[in-house]
């Protein structure tokens, strides 16, 4: 794995991860639906769920996930020659739609998060992940072209 792609993934992951956190925090503040709380929720992880972390630590956990995901996406883009390379924005968008859909049911493991049947929360959760994926794709596409 090339160092420049790790660095690129870190920056893209930080920037987009902060964006997603801010977006969902804003949506939670104006709608009352706990989508930001869901983003930071770790109640479904054994052992970790036993601790009450401050918000800043929960955001840090979220940013680590975002960074790892972006490093993977940058490397997939770098090593690809087909669909991923030809759809540099669409691929991260679709990946993040899938991640959003896969993670949303974890809301059922906590009493702090919205009910899994809350369609308004699901809507804002998916909008956030879709915009995040689009933003990741745009940055990967632009940064990859500038460092080649």
The DSSP call for residue 117 is: T
pLDDT digits (tens, 9 = 90+) for 47-103: 777 788 899 999 999 999 999 999 999 999 888 877 787 888 999 999 999 999 999
Q: Residue 62, Cα to own-chain centre: how many angstroms?
A: 8
What are the residue ranges spanned by the domains of the chain?
3-147
Query: CB-based contacts of 69: which residues, under 8 Å, 6+ apart?
Result: 13, 95, 99, 136
pTM over 0.85: yes
Q: What is the mean pLDDT of residues 119-148?
A: 88
pLDDT digit string, tens, across residues 3-42? 888 999 999 999 999 999 999 999 999 999 999 999 999 8
* Alpha-helical runs (H) found in the chain: 3-31, 35-40, 55-79, 83-86, 90-103, 119-147
């Amino acid at each position: 794995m090339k160092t420049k792609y790790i660095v690129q993934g870190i920056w893209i992951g930080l920037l987009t991860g902060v964006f997603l956190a801010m977006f969902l925090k804003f949506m939670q503040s104006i709608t009352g639906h706990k989508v930001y709380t869901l983003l930071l929720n770790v109640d479904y992880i054994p052992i970790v769920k036993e601790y009450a972390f401050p918000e800043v630590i929960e955001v840090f956990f979220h940013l680590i996930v975002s960074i790892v995901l972006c490093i993977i996406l940058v490397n997939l883009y770098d090593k690809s020659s087909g669909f991923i390379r030809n759809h540099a924005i669409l691929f991260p968008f679709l990946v993040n739609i899938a991640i959003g859909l896969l993670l949303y049911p974890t809301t059922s493991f906590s009493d702090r998060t919205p009910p899994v049947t809350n369609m308004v929360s699901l809507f804002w959760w998916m909008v956030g992940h879709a915009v995040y994926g689009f933003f990741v794709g745009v940055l990967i596409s632009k940064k990859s072209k500038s460092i080649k």
